[in-house]
Structure 1
């Protein structure tokens, strides 16, 4: 019973990080895709303005997840971090570079410096969710067990790669949705349509990736496929689809 309760708390914490931190990663993705200095000036202004008050706070959820994981399930923690130290280390490096790039870009006086720090922030915003998703795919597909040696096979399976791409697309969608709302809140009407189009486009890509992931897991990870199509997994999948449709409805009725 205690283990089940800890697992529920861990699930809620992971969900909170995926939503809050994922929105930040998505903002970084759109920073990367904003274009050159002049073309991307306004989108990057909004991204900086929206992220500045909260971007560090969201990582507290990740710290909470790690603490719960190593205290509640120490064997799982040791197994996962031993078998997949490389993708998790790359994700951690991405977090550091991302934070440093975001913090140093604005006060930098030289254009070359701003571009360098901006590139670090934006590219790390893509790298980090990809490797975190790949690690989750390795765990979900049961490729990690006590005694598993660290190897690329653990986190480069079709399931892991699919999960990595889904993580990037999901964060892009979350970031675009919230930036659409922020554009309206910060009185930037020209950016409402800009980010709304990107939100709808990223949702279309995410939908395609979700279908592809279904085929991939059916062949590569039957356990994952069964979990997603039965019981609570199916319920969560339906809720996720319903929430996505609700987000589309809210996006389409947003003036701008």
Structure 2
């Protein structure tokens, strides 16, 4: 029998691997081993103590704890999105209302302008109709009075030639007077706007007399006559013969008709209003 057969062992019982794993949890395992130091001697060995450090158990995060913050963030984002969408809708509605108000104001302005334009056109048409009626009446009156006036102012011409000139002169004068009130527009030849030579060309053209287009040519188109020997139908000119800058027609009674300027248009005025330089007789 061995001399150590009766010496009791002080080694602690070995713990099973399953118990250690249970205590360590999912993060553990066996983290230590038991160190045993024993001296084989006749005397009783000192007890050997072991220290086992156990791992700290940490609970694994659950699905609930992970999902809760995410759901809260998503809810916050959704609320922010809804606020932003609502703000955009309100801004769009305000812009649309502003645009509609502007469009309505513009439509009202155009409608008012159109109304005024229509009224102005109607008034102008009425005035034009009245003027046409007045001119028609004037033509009839002047045609009869012009003949007698022309026949009574033959001057130094023979009676036969005066009689022929008077009838033509009356027609020229009637045409010119019928245009009184029309506008003066440089280069215009009627029927509602004239320049000075355009009116003379049209008036004499109404009886078949073809005059040059411009005042320079008209101032030399006939026989030069003195201003103290005028008769109705004579062409008056301002400036020198051949270089005149304005023309009109003598209508008798010390008056003339001419397309004066853009301010007055076609007017009948006394010779003293704008004394002419000379005159030519084409009838």
TM-score bracket, shorter-length normalisation = under 0.3
TM-score normalised to structure 2 length = 0.24
Q: Report the structure, 1 or 2, having the larger helix content.
A: 1
How does the TM-score come out when normalised to structure 1? Answer: 0.26
Structure with larger RCO (C-alpha < 8 A, sep 6+): 1
Higher alpha-carbon Rg = 2
Higher strand proportion, which one?
Answer: 2
